[in-house]
Amino acid sequence: NAGVTQTPKFQVLKTGQSMTLQCAQDMNHNSMYWYRQDPGMGLRLIYYSASEGTTDKGEVPNGYNVSRLNKREFSLRLESAAPSQTSVYFCASSEMTSSDTQYFGPGTRLTVL
């Protein structure tokens, strides 16, 4: 039981490049989330998926797209990376969006040059 896993752990991109961050959970949770963490700003929600087949915007969705591939997997795509997207990205899951506890992955550290 690995919980929430994320790949890659580190990534360096040039401005304008695209990439997809992968997230998977093995807890049979319905809801999954993508956050970004910047110094002094806490965690901010990018997108979430309440259940398989649905996605919704969070607080900072611009420049990102998501895909809920199946119940286990939720990916985050940067179509044209910008330096402002340099951040640490965390995926999380919870039983439902109304659940009070989330479980986080270890994070992906992304640098955009």
Partner 1 sequence: GQQLNQSPQSMFIQEGEDVSMNCTSSSIFNTWLWYKQDPGEGPVLLIALYKAGELTSNGRLTAQFGITRKDSFLNISASIPSDVGIYFCAGHTGNQFYFGTGTSLTVIP
- What residue ranges bind partner 1 (CB under 8 A)? 4, 33, 35, 40-45, 48, 50, 56, 58-59, 90, 92, 97-98, 100-107
Q: How far is the CB of 6 from partner 1 (least distance, A)?
A: 8
Q: Which is nearer to partner 1, 54 or 80 (CB)?
A: 54
Q: Which is nearer to partner 1, 23 or 81 (CB)?
A: 23
| Closest by Cα among 13, 1, 20 to 91 | 20
Q: How far is the CB of 19 from partner 1 (least distance, A)?
A: 20
| Distant-in-sequence, close-in-space partners of 107: CB < 8 Å, separation ≥ 6 | 6, 9, 37, 88, 89, 90
Q: How far is the CB of 10 from partner 1 (least distance, A)?
A: 10
Q: Which is nearer to partner 1, 63 or 104 (CB)?
A: 104
Q: Which is nearer to partner 1, 5 or 17 (CB)?
A: 5
CA distance 25 to 3: 6
- Do 79 and 18 meet the contact criterion of CB atoms below 8 Å apart? yes
CA distance 45 to 27: 21
